[in-house]
Amino acid sequence: MRSMLVKMVLGCSLSLVFFFPNIALSSSGETTGTDRVIVEITDKEGNKETKSIPVDEVQPKSTFRISSSMRDQINILQPDYIRTIDMAQTTDKYTKSWSVNRVGTEWMKSKIASNDEEVIVAVIDTGIDYTHSFLRERMIDGYDFVDNDSDPMDEHFHGTHVAGIIVESTTANIKIMPIRALNHSGNGYDSNIAKGIHFAVDNGASIVNMSFQGNEYSEHLAQAIDYALSKNVLVVVSSGNLSDDTANYYPASEEKILVVSATDQTDQIASFSNTGHSIDISAPGVSVVSSVPGEKYAALHGTSMAAPYVSGVAAMLMLEAPTSSIKEIEKTLKTYVDDKGVTNWDPLYGEGILNVSNYKKYSLISSAVSASDYINLPEHSNVPLDKKWTILFNQVFSDDSTIAVKLYTENYEIPIKLTPNLANKKIMVAPIENYQANTDYLLEIQVKNGDKYLMRFTTK
């Protein structure tokens, strides 16, 4: 009778146990930096589901190793790491931030043609106070992946501040999608952030702004970012606030996305800003005034404040060029910068500090290229910054005034140096100063009483 009872109890136990591979635990019994793991559950029909569960549910002290042919199998993918934001002060009164003028968004907004199109920026953060009078006209439906409901109200303040920067920096047809993936303490699991990315992409967002960081690389989060990029959704992230190398943080170390460092009122890199090889561009991140919950405003510091300036400008570029790829938008963004630090790209400022104060809807390049009375020559890309052009002719000219040559970029004519060699039927053309990196140029050639030519080229 006793032997029979043992078999029955053991049989019941086996029917409740799944197969769990080992996972490394710290001395406290938790995975490093988190108390949850991301697992893939496969049922007996072969259907797979990815979930986040507490680590103590997948590795009890004693685990039976049994066949999973008749039961669900759980495969541990990775720890469910936690991303976080930093804290800052608040103030009750709204005043226009210095950073708006530094970035030049008021000028850009004045040059954006009004139309019926909309661009959606998803703010994956602590949620947003969508009732705030500064924001509510710009809000669209979002989601709360912390509480798993459709009410992404901000129980912190960070996400509301980030959203306010985008709202102030953009025209009325840039909409904000609030996605709550970080809790009231400013911390959030990768699993919820990844869900937020998928939700944003699947519900029409063109840009995802993520102003948070974590120490560990996350394959799960990287796959979600790849999903966004595959759908032509731009991902903008802050570099982090620990005066460290972005290589030590994620997603700041991800080179496939736009990573933003922070500058101060003197155009210096903020003392707290992370920098490194992944930095693409910089923007103001010190004493930036924006909205916080409860009809209040705050002057906050952080690379979290720099990233939404880039997201906002990118959204307006998309409004103007809705068929552009995210690579084209990124390239255009990097032309509207003030180059600081060493010439061209550097690991502090990236390509430079974002500045769209010279933005105009119709550039000389655009209008010239569309002219029907010009002959368009083949375009060139990856042109060296010190390139000299040689213009060859099929006849000898006695007077170099017969040939008129001009060089343009965006809305400006660039000073050039011409070196005629008319006896050999050619003219050498070079700018007085080197070209800017990642910039479109137009070379215009007019022959007196003859043809007119245009050649477009882009620098490295």
Q: Which residues of 50-85 are buried (b: 16+ CB within 10 A; e: fewer)?
A: eebbebeebbeeeeeeeeeeebebbebbbbbbbbeb
Would you say 279 and 85 are in contact if contact means Cβ atoms under 8 Å apart? no
Distance, in Å, from the CA atom of 121 to the CA atom of 175, rounded to the nearest integer, reads: 6
Spot the catalytic one: 191, 239, 304, 311: 304
Residue 42 near residue 48 (C-beta atoms within 8 A): yes
Given 125, 154, 190, 264, the catalytic residue: 125
Residues 6+ apart with CB under 8 A from 250: 213, 214, 215, 216, 217, 218, 221, 222
Kindly state the tokens that stand for 202: 């699947």
Of the residues 156, 158, 220, 301, only one is catalytic, namely 158
Report the interhelical angle of 190-202 vs 219-230 (nearest 10°). Answer: 10
Identify any residues that bridge with 289 across adjacent strands, giving them in sequence order: 299
* Side-chain-side CA neighbours of residue 313 (13 Å): 34
Distance, in Å, from the CA atom of 399 to the CA atom of 420, rounded to the nearest integer, reads 10
Three-state SS for 62-84 is CCCCCCCCCCCEEEEEEECCEEE
C-alpha to C-alpha distance for 225 and 202, rounded to whole angstroms: 13
Residue 226 is among the residues annotated as catalytic for this protein: no
Separation CA 306–CA 161 (nearest Å): 11
Amino acid at 231: K
**In angstroms, rounded to a whole number, what is the distance separating the alpha carbons of residues 43 and 68?**
9
For residue 403, the cross-strand partners are 447
Q: Is 125 a catalytic residue?
A: yes
Catalytic residue list contains 304: yes
* Helix%, strand%, coil% for the chain, nearest 5: 25, 30, 45
Could you list the active site residues? 125, 158, 304
